[in-house]
Each structure stands twice: as structure tokens, then as C-alpha cells.
Structure 1
């Protein structure tokens, strides 16, 4: 925004340490105050009020940002994190700080990555050790049973890792359903499933045992057979209880030729009839039933025993026949014994007897047959479904192996799950860290691409230094990064160890100076520049003070003429020499029409700013000359010291003239006076405010005359006349 955009007044409201007051400003504003008087506080106040567009600053038109050089500017804009490598500019330094933070983050990430890799390696070693141990234990099973069940294990027998992987897979899938399998059953099952020579087998018929139950409950064996007692002979037989003997003899009746088979007497027909009647009817029926029972019993039980003998003679499958053999032997013994008793009953129907039961034995037999039939059924199922059964057996054998190592597999699985979980976490963390490093690296590249080159600034600053004959150091663009630069001493050595506070203040001021002219395309190069400079010569030596003073005078002249957008300047200092130098326009101070002079004074409770129409600060050098113009101060006790201090300041500090070689230009007493003045210069301090007192008897006039001759003989008479004229003019102003 173009126009006369300046601060018209500054109101200090409730701003510690200042009293409440309002000061009015002009193009050029010079503030002088001792250290601790509040100059820096005033600078900060201007900055804060400008940014907030406070009503405490009154502008000619719209407010604009202040361009402020102070300690804060130096801190923000000068950076030396890497020895010998420097950067300038707040925006650049923010970016450099961001780069440094990113580099530190990359460093921290690399430390974390190294730890992650080490932890991962340690965990992987633990996983390998854990796995190696269980692999060997699983392989021992393969060594023991691999050959026996080779067809079922063939795909996994070749390598330890394959065998272990299969066992772990089966364990994980069935860990809640593992149970032991007898090795005999496994071998039998394997032989069935993988023996291609086995055929279908018919199931064994069970022994019919319902009939056996009937045999054992038959009443014929328990009841004695008795004939009819209706006849006389019948009663006689019953009385004698010899029906069995009569029955046996009766079978000889047809052979006795009509005679009694017992007494050989002729047998009457009625006796024969009565015998027939006695052994007829119920007796005959029972006897016939007994014969039928015996025939049926011996036939059926005999057949069952015969079938069992056949079964035992033709053992099939891998069945345990011991129980069956014992049962069959028991059955045979009981059967033979029962037949004996039944035959005895047939011989003597009058006896009462019972046979031993075979029902329970045959139940046991059928139970064994059922077990055998189950094996047969399994056999037949395997024969019919070999592929399926082989697969089923394979599953069973792996489960059996897993059961035998269940505890170790369980422990391995649990530990390995923990290890794998930790490993996965480490791998995830590694990916995050690597992504972070990649992002940070890319961000550094992106930020570096936005950094401005310091090439133009370095060239201009270096040119300024050469023009002023400054040889303490030179600036060079950093070949590794053109957003930074190197500071090199005159012996081509980096200033990385020797750069003083004053030197980096000086460099930063030079950056500020060129920033005002927009060397790096900064926003500060726009129109309407209102400049604030606070104590720019802190820690500087005389050479750099001269350079800074000259550059500031350039800025003052710009503001005076309002060139290139420079409208207004505020300069604050505690240095009298510097203050006097910047407030002079030629041989005189700047006019109060364009310049305001302020004194900042510190009281007990607060600070106060006083405004002066004319420059209230006189330099010590100027005051020394003023002493010569005031006759009342020309006392012998002080005049010698005043003259010595003027000569010291002008010839030694400012002029750089070899005054000692000029003594020979004087003769006699004048030479003595000259020699006493010039050779006394170094007897005191090099500071122009030191006091030096000497007793002398020479006349004041001789001293003053030789004093003027010294300037004449050294070709500096014009300076002498200028100073005498200037102090005389000031005295006239004061007197008026």
C-alpha cells in the first residue's frame, strides 16, 4: 500500500515500566537511554501493538507491520546448529528447525529401528530354538513308527520339517479331541486299510439261544414217570416201586414166547394187558416226549458246537479267540454231562434230575461273535471303501502321534503363538518406523526445495565488507546447501570455533539491512517500510560500529527522503558515540522538522520518555572541544588532560595517523610541549572518557598555540577550525 503510512503517536497505557504518556513521532525518531532504562521494552511494545493493530499506535493511514531489528530478530534469524554452517532469515530458520527436528526424528527412528531389528533377531533365534527342539522330538516318532506305517506317512517322512509341520497342523486342528489309540488296533487297522489282498468276509451267524432257554426249563427231566395204578398189577408195581425194572423186562416180552420175562411162567393175557395199560397213556406219552427232547437237544447243541469248532479251526482277521475257545470247551463239557444225565433219565424214567444251563455260555459266545462280526464289518467296510478308510486311518495315526506328544506340542504351540504375536508386533512397528523415516526424509526433501538461496545475500554482504575494508571474515555460499553459507576467516579457515557474539550480531544486521531491500524476495521488500532498530552495535568493535553506523545513516537518509518505500525509522541506543554519529546530517544534527529526539530515563518506580527539540546528546569529543571554547574552564590542572584526550581520540582512534613521527617538525620549547602532549597519549586508557591530571607551569597560551600547530603540521587544520566554529556556535545558542 503506497502513501504516507507512518506512526503519528505512541500512547503508553498501563505499560510497565513506563508512566502513562503519549509521544508524537516524525520521520526520524532517535531514542537515547542507559542500559536498563526500558529501550527493549519499548521495542517489544511497538511490535506487539503493531501486530494487534492496537489503538495505542496512531497511524497516518492503515497500519502496516513494523520491520524490527533487536535481539529477538537475531535469535530468530541467525542459526549455527552445525559448526561453520550458518543460515539467515526467520522463515529459513523455521524451516531449518523443522529439518533439524525431522533429522532428529530420523535419528531417533533409526535407533528405534536398530533396537527393533535386534529384538526381532533375538526373538527369531528363540523361535528357531523352540522349533528345533520339538522337530527332533517329532522326528523320533517317525524313526520309531515311520516304517511300520509307511504307506500312511509317505508324503511327510522325507524331511523333518515336513513331518513336524504335519504334526503341528493335526494338533492345532484336533487339540481338544486327542485320545490314545492302542498300537495293536492301529496296526490291525493299518493292515486292513492298506493291504490290497484282503477280501470281503461273511459275518458269523449267532447261536440261536432261545431254544436253549427252553431246554433248560423242560419239566420232563424233573418229574418221575409213573404208570396207571388202576389195575391190580399197576398198584403192585407202584407198591414195589420197580417200574423201571418192569419197563426194562417188558422189552423182552416178545422174545419170551408167551412166558413172563421175569419168572418164565406162562403170561396170562390180562397181565399182559394190564402191563400195557400201565405203561400206556401218560407214561408212554411222557417217555416219547423225553426221547424227542433228547434227540432235539443233542442235535441243536451238537450243531452249535460243531459250528463253533469250524470257526475256531478257521480263525480270521486279527481277533482274540482265547475267550471263545474257553467258552466252547466249557460248553462241550456241560453238553456231554447233560447228555449223560438225559440218557440216564431215559433208562430210568422214574428218576428226577436237571441239566446244567448253557444259556449264559452261549450268550457269551454270541457276544464274542458280535465282536468278531464288528471286526468283519469294519474289514468289509474298509475293503469296500479303501480310499476313504486309508484317509481315515491316516488321520487317526497322526492324532495318535500328537497325543503321545500332546504336552510338548501344547507348550510349543502356546510359546510359539506368543513369540509369533510379538514378532508380528515388531514387524508392524518396523513398518511404521520405516514409513516414518521415509516420510521424514521426504519432508526434508520437500522443505529443502522451498528454501531460498542465500547466494544473492552473500554476494551483497561480502561486497559491503570489502568496500569498507573489513577483513575479519568473508561469507561463502555453502556448496552442499545453497540455503546456508560459510563464514571464513582471512586465512581460509572456518570461523566455526571463533565466531564472537558481536560478529553474528553484525552478520544478522547486514541480513536485516538487505532484507529491507528485498534481496531474497521477502515480503519485507514491499512498500511502506516503518523500521525499528534497537541497539544494533552491541558487542561490536570500532570497525564494525563504523560499518553499521554508515548503513543506518543510509536508511535514515532513505526515510528522510521517503525513497523506495522507506517512510519512518525508530533508532534506540545507549551508546553516545553511535547516537551522535547517526543523528548528524553533515556537520549538524537533523532538523526538528523531520526528526524527534527522545531521552528515556529510569526513575525509582518507572521510566519516562522526554522529547527534545534539538539533539540533547553531545559526544565526549565534542564536549572536550567545547571546554576549549569556555575560558572559565581553562585551568592549568585540566587543560593538559583535555588537549591530550582530543589528540588521542582524533589521531589514534579516528585518524589512524602516526603522530610520533610529527614531533620532529617542532623546534625548541614547542617541540618539548608537542612531545609532552603526544607522548602522553598512551599513558592513559584508550577510552576517551578516562581522566588524566598533570601539574604544569607552562602557559595555557603556549599549549593552545602548539595544539593548533599540531593540526596544521599534520594537515588537519580544517578539522580544527570546524570544531572550534561548531562549539562556538552551540555556545551562542545556549547563551541566547
Structure 2
């Protein structure tokens, strides 16, 4: 039966109109021009009204019989009128074949209707078709949930798909099949998005590197561990070594030389041999080592002051890559560096005064390594920024692809489930479609055979004779019907 009639821009129906929830028997009332005949015309031949449609239960279209003005014009206003068939008395066997064929059509219709019910549901809005719609909607919702989760950070990459659930889902499925980008972490993508999408990359100068290697050489200089003392084979050496006062004697020797041979301690004139012994004790080798200590101290001081100036300058640099936390950390390390240098300078001063005592400079590696690491990390970011600034368009394209790769990875399980559900639904739908097609084909074959059999068992001739006899019997002598030029018609 007909379940719904759609009318649009035809006769008195302007715009779209739908007559729904029709029953097996329906009555339409109304005055002239209200659309009753228009409805009957649409039912009679929907194909002549492109924007209108007649919806049949389960899609099973039945033969329509419409009696209206068009029917009258077609059947009674022409020279030929359709005839009334009479079954020939000698066609009982053929008629039996027709009945058998018609009996087969009933079960075929039931199979077709059952398949259509499973495919479309009882009201044409359910079944496997509706199941597919639900699968698609569920996938859209799952994709949209991920989109909402990352929309704030990655909106630029999702441009063109942020306002339509269906388009976003289709984009996810497309990226799943063809995206070959590397899968990066969220933190990396967020950082890159901030640099490429939110800020316009501009070239930045790298932070200057600071060379601390020279301090390692200073700390390992062998002179620091060497006991710098005088010559051991002179007569005064035994006494100095016994008293272990080489540094005290050396300091006194400097005063002695300025005091013209008078001992600076006892104020007595010394002998020439004593002067000679002291001079030989503090020989060229001793003087060379002493000079090495002095030079080491001077070099250490120069390099330390140089690095301190470089660090002071670094703390004055204003760069968006050198944030407040990094500056605070550098400032703390600079204080530690200054304190360590001060300690080592004091140790070098002690070594110069008392060259016979070994010393160990405090290492600055535990301070310089964090400084170098911090500067290296910042310069890596600057280098990446400068690379992006030189190639913004391609970098945006690449980052967009990487973000979609990340989104797809979040939905991998959902995508697999979706493909399984769609595949199963497709198999079922195709199976039902095949069932409908095969039974429709068999039904059409039956109807074709019925039509062929009826063509040889029916005739309008007996009806024409009987009508004329009735007319004559009732006194209509001036009117009679004859056989038309077309088969099975009167005139």
C-alpha cells in the first residue's frame, strides 16, 4: 500500500508538502481547486511529476487504478475504447497454468517484502540501511570527540574540517589510508604548532657559546702538584730539607739580596760562601718552575675574567628563547662559577707563595656542563626556528600532516572497529539486495508468462457480440459497437 505522498510545486501545491501515515483506505475531501485531482494524477503517474513521489510500503509498488478526468478522456473521448476480455471456453488448461504462476508470485512477494523489511525496516527508516547510518554517526561522534580534545592547539591543521562532523570523519579515514608522516609526541607537535601556527617565525641569532675547556687544562697542569724546591746537592740543602722551610728561605733570600749580604733575620754579615750556597740552591730550574706558577696564575685570571664578561653579556641578551626560567638558572650558575673561580685564584696565590706545597684546583665541570647543556638546547630551538623561518609554507604543510597522523593514531582502535562494522553491514546489505533482485527477476518472469498466456486465452469478440445483443434487446437499433483498429479495443 501507499504509505506517503510527496508533493512539490505542482498545481495548487506550492513548495513542499508531505501526506504521511496513510492507511489502507483514505478519504480526501475538499472543494474545487484544492488538489484532489492533482493527488490522483501523481498517484497515477509519479514519473510525470519530477518533484513529487509516491512511497510504497517496503518499496513494493502495486498496480494503480485511478478514475478521474484523465481516465475519462483516455477511455471515452477517443475513437477506440479498451475492451472487456472474455475467457475462451477451450482454455481451461492454460488458465490452470496462469493460476499456478500467480500462486508462485505470492511467496516471491513475501520473500521480497521480508528482505526489504530487513534492509529498510518496517517503515522504510530502519533495517540495515539505518544500521549503516548509526555506524557512520557513531564514528563521526568518536572522531569529533578527538577533534574537540585537540581543537584549541591544532585548529590551524584542522582548518576546513572543524565545522562538519561528516567531513572530519572522512578526513580521518582518508589520512589513515595515505598519511606516511612520522608519528610525533603531543608535546613535540604542540611546541611546533606554537612556533609555526601561532607565531610567525623570524630569524633569531644563536646564543654565543662559551669556551670552558681551557680551565680543564689549568686544573691538570702538573706544576700544581710539583714540590718546587731548590737544588739538593748544595751544602745548605740538607738543613733546608730537614727544616722543610724552603718557602721561608726563598722569601728571606729576596730580602737578603736587597740587603747587601746582611741576613734580614739576624742582621749579621754573611760570608761569600753562604751567599753562593743560597744562589745555587735557588737555581735556574727553580726559577723556571716559579715563573710557570706565576704565568699559570696570570693566565687563569685572564681566562676567568673573559668568561665572566661573556656570561654577564649573555644575561643581558633578550631573546624569546631565553625565557625567565632560563635566565634565572644562568644567573645561579654564574654566581657558582664566580665563587669557584675566587677559590681557585686563592689557591694559585698560595702556590705562588709556597711553591713547595702541592695544590688541587676545584673543578668547575659541575658548573660548566649545565651551562653548556642549557645553551645547546636553546640554540637547537633557535636553529629549528631559523630553518622554519626559511621554509614556512612547507613546514606548515609538513606539520599539518604530522598532526593528522597523531589524530589518526588516537583513533586507530575506533577505525578498525568501524571498518569491521561497515564490512559486515555491506555484506548483509549486498546479500539482501541480491535476494530482492533474484526474487524480483523470478516474479517478473512469472508475470511475463502470465501475460503471454492471457494473450492467447482472452478476447474482446464475445463481449462485443453480447453488448450489441443487449443493445438490440433494449431497443437501441441505431447504436452499436465494433472492434477497434488496435487489438482488444472497441469503437
TM over 0.5: yes
2:314 maps to which residue? Answer: 311
The CA deviation string for residues 577-597 of structure 1, in whole angstroms up to 9 with x for no partner, is xxxxxxxxxxxxxxxxxxxxx
Once residues 161 and 377 of structure 1 are traced to their aligned partners in structure 2, the CA distance between those partners, rounded to angstroms, is 40
Indicate the RMSD between aligned Cα atoms, in angstroms. 4.1
Once residues 91 and 451 of structure 2 are traced to their aligned partners in structure 1, the CA distance between those partners, rounded to angstroms, is 16
Once residues 278 and 224 of structure 1 are traced to their aligned partners in structure 2, the CA distance between those partners, rounded to angstroms, is 14
Q: Is the 8 A contact 1:87 1:93 kept in 2?
A: no
The residue correspondences of 1:233-248 to structure 2 (distance < 5 A) are 233-248=236-251
Does the residue aligned with 2:157 lie in a helix, a strand or coil? helix
1:123 maps to which residue? Answer: 131
The residue correspondences of 1:497-512 to structure 2 (distance < 5 A) are none
Change (3 A) 1:366 1:241: same
Q: Is the 8 A contact 1:139 1:164 kept in 2?
A: no
The CA deviation string for residues 148-200 of structure 1, in whole angstroms up to 9 with x for no partner, is 44433433334444445445555666799866422xx4443223223325204
Kindly indicate whether residue 159 of structure 2 is the aligned counterpart of residue 151 of structure 1.
Answer: no
1:430 Cα shift? 4.7
Kindly indicate whether residue 203 of structure 2 is the aligned counterpart of residue 199 of structure 1.
Answer: yes
Q: Match for 1:222 among 214, 219, 225?
A: 225
Once residues 138 and 177 of structure 1 are traced to their aligned partners in structure 2, the CA distance between those partners, rounded to angstroms, is 19
Once residues 292 and 358 of structure 1 are traced to their aligned partners in structure 2, the CA distance between those partners, rounded to angstroms, is 20
Q: TM-score, normalised by structure 1?
A: 0.44
Does the residue aligned with 1:154 lie in a helix, a strand or coil? coil
The CA deviation string for residues 111-148 of structure 1, in whole angstroms up to 9 with x for no partner, is 32233211124414532552464255235325xx42x4
Q: Is the 8 A contact 2:196 2:395 kept in 1?
A: yes
Q: Is the 8 A contact 2:101 2:450 kept in 1?
A: no
1:402 Cα shift? 5.3
Kindly indicate whether residue 104 of structure 2 is the aligned counterpart of residue 101 of structure 1.
Answer: yes
Change (3 A) 1:385 1:127: same
1:346 Cα shift? 0.4
Indicate the structure (1 or 2) with the bigger Cα radius of gyration: 1
Q: Match for 1:280 among 276, 280, 283?
A: 283
Q: Match for 2:383 among 371, 377, 401?
A: 377
Q: Match for 1:392 among 393, 398, 413?
A: 398
Does the residue aligned with 2:377 lie in a helix, a strand or coil? helix
Once residues 440 and 355 of structure 2 are traced to their aligned partners in structure 1, the CA distance between those partners, rounded to angstroms, is 115
Q: TM-score, normalised by structure 2?
A: 0.62
2:7 maps to which residue? Answer: none
2:116 maps to which residue? Answer: 113
The residue correspondences of 1:642-657 to structure 2 (distance < 5 A) are none
The residue correspondences of 1:622-701 to structure 2 (distance < 5 A) are none
Q: Is the 8 A contact 2:226 2:357 kept in 1?
A: yes
Once residues 165 and 98 of structure 1 are traced to their aligned partners in structure 2, the CA distance between those partners, rounded to angstroms, is 49
Q: Match for 1:355 among 356, 361, 364?
A: 361
The CA deviation string for residues 188-237 of structure 1, in whole angstroms up to 9 with x for no partner, is 3223223325204336436353x444333323222222112444444444
2:8 maps to which residue? Answer: none
Once residues 253 and 303 of structure 1 are traced to their aligned partners in structure 2, the CA distance between those partners, rounded to angstroms, is 39
Give unpaired runs (5+ residues) of structure 2.
1-86, 122-126, 470-486
- Aligned pair count reads 372
1:259 Cα shift? 4.4
The residue correspondences of 1:294-373 to structure 2 (distance < 5 A) are 294-314=297-317, 316=319, 317=321, 321=326, 326-359=332-365, 361-373=367-379
Once residues 234 and 206 of structure 1 are traced to their aligned partners in structure 2, the CA distance between those partners, rounded to angstroms, is 47
2:452 maps to which residue? Answer: 450
Change (3 A) 1:114 1:175: farther
Give unpaired runs (5+ residues) of structure 1.
1-83, 467-481, 484-736
The residue correspondences of 1:61-140 to structure 2 (distance < 5 A) are 88-91=91-94, 93-94=96-97, 96-102=99-105, 104-118=107-121, 119-127=127-135, 129-131=137-139, 133-134=141-142, 136-140=144-148
Q: Which has the higher strand share?
A: 1
Q: Is the 8 A contact 1:252 1:261 kept in 2?
A: yes
Does the residue aligned with 2:156 lie in a helix, a strand or coil? helix
Q: Is the 8 A contact 1:221 1:354 kept in 2?
A: yes
Q: Is the 8 A contact 1:192 1:198 kept in 2?
A: no
The CA deviation string for residues 497-540 of structure 1, in whole angstroms up to 9 with x for no partner, is xxxxxxxxxxxxxxxxxxxxxxxxxxxxxxxxxxxxxxxxxxxx
The residue correspondences of 1:336-735 to structure 2 (distance < 5 A) are 336-359=342-365, 361-401=367-407, 406=410, 409-410=411-412, 412-436=414-438, 438-440=440-442, 442-444=444-446, 446-451=448-453, 452-455=455-458, 459=462
Q: Which has the higher contact order (CA 8 A, sep 6+)?
A: 2
1:91 Cα shift? 5.0
Once residues 400 and 324 of structure 1 are traced to their aligned partners in structure 2, the CA distance between those partners, rounded to angstroms, is 35
The CA deviation string for residues 601-654 of structure 1, in whole angstroms up to 9 with x for no partner, is xxxxxxxxxxxxxxxxxxxxxxxxxxxxxxxxxxxxxxxxxxxxxxxxxxxxxx
1:284 Cα shift? 0.8
Change (3 A) 1:275 1:368: same
